[in-house]
Amino acid sequence: MGPAGPLRYVRKLWFAGRVATGEEKREAGQELPPDNQGARRSAWLALEYPAMGDFDDPKLEWRRLFSEILGTFLLVLVAAGAGLLHVSNGDQVSLAAAVVAPGLMVMAIILFMGAVSGAHLNPGVSIAFALRRDFPWRRVPGYIIAQLVGAVLAAVFLYAVFGDAGNLGTTTPGPGFAAWQALLIEMVLTFGLVSVILGTASGAQNVGALGALAVGGYIALAGLWGAPVSGASMNTARSFGPALVSGDFTSFWVYVAGPLAGMLLAVGCAFVLRGAGGSSVSLMAGSGRLGSERRRQAREEKEAAREAGADPGGDPPSQLS
């Protein structure tokens, strides 16, 4: 299907959702009913939740890895860059602005490339999807390496522009707080973040406006109260890039152990709330297609029964002697 294919499909569904007459009937096509009340919703879902074919195609793994590098680069550029400018010049970038900026960037990243790689941007998220059996383990190492590379590239860029100002936005426990306190805050914040992601994702993909709003909004909200304690990293890759380039690994273990523990707790809660993952039902539920799929299966069962000579809605056919 060429680039215009999905748009033609969405346009066809849009026309099919209206009372079609004249030219609109020709635009809708014969395979769609002229007065389909659910067609408009299906049209929006086709844009919000793309098919899994490209996401699962092994030949396109290079594209997905590049997407993770690019997305993590942009995230760390904003997160560490805002932290750097806040520390070096707090009059221009306030703490509130520094913690809200990464949330807004994640919203944008999910919207513009979530359909390509799933917009994981975080080693903990990739591992969580794999533990839920929504993402194959064989792809996890590549995703994590891509995320770490993107984070390092962002830190290198910040170093080239600003030097070692603000310690390159390295995440460390806040003044007056011990490492164990930062560890617990990172664990709790990551628990909430991964829970939101697992609850709004379609399979292993962060896609759609609602998912972007939920994930980005949570990151901003968590940063508003958690940043003074730990920096509200919630992401080992985000902490790794600035730590590597600045050479400051003093408290880096906090940002490995905390997010890892929080992620494991979130996966356990997801099992309690929604059962085991990895099924087509979980994918359809996450993408809003579960009801339409059940209706399709019911139609197929009814057609199969009719072809077998039984009417599922009435009496069985009479037997002729």
Q: Is residue 129 part of a domain?
A: yes
- Mean pLDDT estimate for the chain: 80
Q: How far is CA 15 from the centre of its chain?
A: 30
Q: Is residue 112 part of a domain?
A: yes
Task: Write down the pLDDT at residue 1.
Answer: 47
Concatenating the DSSP letter of every residue in 95-139 gives HHHHHHHHHHHHHHHHHHHHHHH----SHHHHHHHHHTTSS-GGG
Radius of gyration of the chain (CA): 24
Task: Look at the block and give the residue holding tokens 């993770």.
Answer: 68
Q: Is residue 304 part of a domain?
A: no
Q: Which domain holds residue 93?
A: 55-282
Once rounded to an integer, what is the mean pLDDT over residues 229-237? 95
Which CATH number goes with the domain that contains 179?
A: 1.20.1080.10
pLDDT digits (tens, 9 = 90+) for 269-298: 999 988 887 665 555 544 445 455 556 667
Task: Write down the pLDDT at residue 307.
Answer: 79
Count the Cβ atoms, other than its own, within 10 Å of residue 215. Answer: 26
Burial pattern 252-290, b for ≥16 Cβ within 10 A else e, equals bebbbebbbbbbbbbbeebeeeeeebbeeebbbbbbbbe
Q: Is residue 12 part of a domain?
A: no
Contacts of 4 by beta carbon, 8 Å cutoff, 6+ apart: none
Task: Write down the pLDDT at residue 283.
Answer: 52
Q: Is residue 46 part of a domain?
A: no
**Whole-structure pTM over 0.75, yes or no?**
no
Q: Is residue 1 part of a domain?
A: no
Name the domain count of the chain. 1
Q: Is residue 172 part of a domain?
A: yes
Q: Is residue 296 part of a domain?
A: no
